[in-house]
């Protein structure tokens, strides 16, 4: 999809300011072994953007002077495709940080990554695994034919290593995205449906399910434009805004780093070219600052921010506020 997206810079979204940074989310590059329809990064096998060894070193230097950061969140693309992924993950663990790998599961079967699952387990790296549905046809439609079967094999392999098991210390969390321009169903109810289906059909267990709202940017935004649904979806997000979610949006305590080392308030701003700036024009690079200097800094907001505050709210850790509801299906 190559439809031109409307500009999203002007907004009525409420003003926000940063608190202290405790999560550093690092995008290691946009290359991926999949090309998912909902991808807000527009990642795929043909992307070549990739964090260099020098920028990885700058990330580690930032962590050394930012003791308030407790979590290193590694994302992409498929972050594992970056040749420096393992070095960065191990260095994070050696610093006593919680390290998260945002894994698409099928990467575990890619040539050259056959030992990836064992590596993650050996270093007690948390896995946040994308599985946008528990129904095969829905997943294959969104992520490519055969991706569901590969994902199930990946989950079973992680379970065999202890991931998702009580008292193992190996966290396995799943991520759900809606199939189209709708809000996610209630997280607690959908979690129960995932547990029942994946457990009964495949013997799979996991710790938590995170429901994420699809953002109207990059590939998903282009799909909406091509179908004439872009403005309607934005209106849906605006209409579902809840002020109480503003207290918990991820940009208040998360810092996003792009593959070149430039800083953003979140991964979505990164994809829209909205960096954290010093004087309105000059971008901050991770080599030029520590986390404490960003506290109290104004957050750049735009219309897509309503995706984080609509309904239950949405962030990298799932719903911000969940309410009991009848059990939905992941085709919702």
Q: Please tell me the predicted confidence (pLDDT) of residue 329.
A: 61
How crowded is residue 112: how many other Cβ atoms within 10 Å of its Cβ? 9
Q: Are 189 and 141 in contact (CB under 8 A)?
A: no
DSSP helix/strand/coil, 173: strand
Instruction: Give CA–CA dist 101/195, Å, rounded.
Output: 21
Q: Which two tokens stand for residue 226?
A: 């091509």
65 or 30: whose pLDDT is higher?
A: 65
Question: Is 212 within 8 Å of 318 (Cβ atoms)?
Answer: yes
Section 230-256 average pLDDT = 95
Would you give the DSSP letter of residue 293? G
Spatial contact of 175 and 310, defined as CB atoms under 8 Å apart: no
Neighbours of 53 (CB within 10 A): 12
Q: Which residue has the tokens 């503003």?
A: 246
Tokens of 29: 């590059």
What confidence score (pLDDT) does residue 5 get? Answer: 46
Please give the helix or strand (H or E) that residue 101 lies within, else none: strand 98-103
User: Position of tokens 């991820």?
Assistant: 250
Average pLDDT on 265-293 reads 90
Neighbours of 7 (CB within 10 A): 9
Q: Exposed (0-12), middle (13-18) or buried (19+): which is 220, by Cβ within 10 Å?
A: buried
Task: Find the helix packing angle between 187-202 and 147-160, rounded to 10°.
Answer: 80
Tell me the sheet residues that pair with 126.
Answer: 100
Question: How is 26-61 classified by DSSP, letter by letter?
Answer: EE-BSB-S---TT-SS--BTT---B--HHHHHHHHH
Least confident of 46-60, 101-115, 258-272, 312-326: 312-326
The predicted-structure confidence for 18-62, as pLDDT tens digits, reads as follows: 999 999 999 999 888 766 665 666 667 788 899 999 999 999 999
CA-wise closest residue to 154 among 40, 34, 314, 50 = 34
pTM value is 0.91
Is a pLDDT exceeding 80 seen at residue 134? yes
- Tell me the domain boundaries of the chain: 23-309
Mean pLDDT for the stretch of residues 248-271? 95
Q: What is the pLDDT of residue 277?
A: 86
Rounded-to-integer distance, Cα 158 and Cα 205, Å: 10
Q: Does domain 23-309 have CATH number 3.20.20.70?
A: yes
Q: Quote the mean pLDDT of the chain.
A: 89
Whole-number Å distance between alpha carbons of 108 and 158: 10
pLDDT tens per residue, range 164-188: 998 999 999 999 988 789 999 999 9
Q: Residue 256: name the closest of 53, 73, 122 by CA.
A: 73
Residue 207 confidence (pLDDT): 97
């Amino acid at each position: 999809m190559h439809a031109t997206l409307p500009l999203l810079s002007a907004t009525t979204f409420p003003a926000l300011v940063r608190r202290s940074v405790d999560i550093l989310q690092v995008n290691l590059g946009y290359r991926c072994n999949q090309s998912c329809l909902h991808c807000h990064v527009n990642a795929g096998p043909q992307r070549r953007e990739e964090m260099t060894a020098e920028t990885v070193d700058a990330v580690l230097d930032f962590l050394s002077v930012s003791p308030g950061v407790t979590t290193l969140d590694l994302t992409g693309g498929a972050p594992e495709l970056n040749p420096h992924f393992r070095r960065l993950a191990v260095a994070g663990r050696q610093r006593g940080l919680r390290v998260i790998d945002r894994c698409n599961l099928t990467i575990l079967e890619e040539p050259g990554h056959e030992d990836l699952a064992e590596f993650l387990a050996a270093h007690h790296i948390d896995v946040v695994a994308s599985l946008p549905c528990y129904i095969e046809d829905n997943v294959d439609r969104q992520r490519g034919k055969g991706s569901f079967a590969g994902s199930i094999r990946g989950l079973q392999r992680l379970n065999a290593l202890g991931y998702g098991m009580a008292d193992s210390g190996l966290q396995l969390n799943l991520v759900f995205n809606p199939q189209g321009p709708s809000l996610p169903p209630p997280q607690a109810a959908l979690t129960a449906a995932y547990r029942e289906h994946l457990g009964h059909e495949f013997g799979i267990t996991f710790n938590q399910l995170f429901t994420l709202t699809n953002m109207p940017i990059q590939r998903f935004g282009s799909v909406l434009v091509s179908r004439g649904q872009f403005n309607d979806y934005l209106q849906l997000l605006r209409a579902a805004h809840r002020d109480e979610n503003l207290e918990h949006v991820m940009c208040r305590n998360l810092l996003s780093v792009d593959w070149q080392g430039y800083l953003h308030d979140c991964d979505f701003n990164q994809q829209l070219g909205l960096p954290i700036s010093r004087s309105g024009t000059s971008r901050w690079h991770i080599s030029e600052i520590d986390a404490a200097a960003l506290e109290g800094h104004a957050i750049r907001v735009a219309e897509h921010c309503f995706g984080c505050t609509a309904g239950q709210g949405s962030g990298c850790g799932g719903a911000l506020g969940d309410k009991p509801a009848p059990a939905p299906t992941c085709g919702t």
